[in-house]
Structure 1
């Protein structure tokens, strides 16, 4: 192999490397420009999710509760409780009835280590959605692991526990998160939101409703910050200002949920 051939191969290798680098940078730029999609990929493996759940009433054998939103594809293999609600993957079972306020420890571990959706039990994709309240938008923490976007939206609109909350619920969509073990249990620190969806009374909330619920949550946070130091209050001011950037853009009327 002569010198000219070696020079040609070196030039070609360098050109291919430059082209690959350019393509990667272009893909990263494209990824930043466009928001998270409504779904990652359709869930067509409901049977696998159902096999990991405790035995319950089949979704096809029992009617869902009247008035529930349309059930996402991934959740259609979940069992149904006596009230007609689909039983999420994370729910602790005490006897026959699930307890939506408590997480099954084994399933929580599976959600964390195997990146499963806490609602349907299937594998998560690139985007993670957390169902939180207005207060958590300030602290950017969640007590529950993430879910698929469409599963989280269903939970925000239909979950019997969320229905009892005062104020709005928020679906926080991010690409990543970190889990942290505290004395009170496991918490999840959410990355920057790429999309946010606010709900109240089973529908999209408008800006006025979000602001009202948000302001109702702040006194307790400021009381705790004042008890610490002036620096803690200033830090909380920054966190609150950052959270308000996630508010819905318009206040004239409630949003109408669009099909995904």
Structure 2
């Protein structure tokens, strides 16, 4: 056989191997839970960690005690306290105001599927930072994030980490369209990172909320650390009276529906040892 013949066979063999590996990867991805989709990308990776005004993040005093910053967040500027300034934060008179979410960026995150925290393109997995009762309603008042960006926020955000902080003092924006009893109205002391492949933006009377699909992973945090089952249960119980008041106003059918939703939410509680709860197929 000629040299060209051998090269042709080698090319065909390489193509077959590549096709087989791609097919196997797709089958694996379809049957196993979500990975942490925070790998470096062409938009916002470590090599692009330059701030808008040409200042490197490494030249600014990063707040001590923070966990490792996800790769995509390393391009974000820092505030005077040493915290990364999330993508959604609006600027008032040229200064970031953590209490105000930029409406244009809100729309950008929805229509262009960008991360609410780092501002780069989302993958197939979406992570929501929510309160315990949002695990019951399966709704969020804020757009989804990358998994690692969401986990970082759940461990670092002053409003989430410090249950005694008011939302105004902590610098967190208030979404008036968020469901009653969720983290967006009060701090239950526990935050949940809900990882799913499916979500949908839904128009409501005064804005938009997000319906979350079935979770593939859930990460529960309290005061910057992983929460245990008893802490999650106690936090959920603080928000249930408000939900049941609304359900009773709507009638017996609404109460029964809420009972079912609460029971379904408890399936995703962490085990008694702290860690991530991985949703297993039925």
Is the TM value for this pair above 0.5?
yes
**1:183 aligns with one of 183, 186, 205:** 205
Gaps of 5+ in 2: 1-18, 166-186, 277-282
Q: 1:55 to 1:229 in 2, by over 3 A?
A: farther
> How far apart in 1 are the matches of 2:106 and 2:35?
26
Greater alpha carbon shift after TM alignment, 61-70 vs 29-38 = 29-38
Give the aligned partner of residue 88 of structure 1. Answer: 86
CA distance in 2, matches of 1:131, 1:244: 17
Is it true that 1:216 corresponds to 2:210 in the alignment? no
Q: Secondary structure at the match of 2:153?
A: helix
Query: What is residue 121 of structure 1 aligned with on the other side?
Result: 119
5+ long unaligned stretches in structure 1: 1-19
RMSD in angstroms over aligned alpha carbons?
2.6
| 2:99 corresponds to 1:101 | yes
Indicate the residue corresponding to 2:35 in structure 1: 37
Equivalences, count: 231
Shift of 1:123: 0.6
Q: How far apart are residue 101 of structure 1 and its match? A: 3.3
Q: Which moved more, 1:61-70 or 1:78-87?
A: 61-70
Query: Mean Cα displacement is larger for which, 225-234 or 61-70?
Result: 61-70
Q: Of residues 226, 233, 236 in structure 1, which corresponds to 2:248?
A: 226
CA contact 1:177–1:191 (8 Å) conserved in 2: yes
1:135, distance to aligned residue in structure 2 (A) = 1.2
Give the TM-score normalised by structure 1: 0.81
Structure 2 contact 38–72 (Cα < 8 Å) conserved? no
Question: For 1:181-260, what aligned pairs fall within 5 Å after superposition?
Answer: 181-249=203-271, 251=272, 253-255=273-275
Deviation above 6 Å: which 4+ runs of structure 1? Answer: 47-51
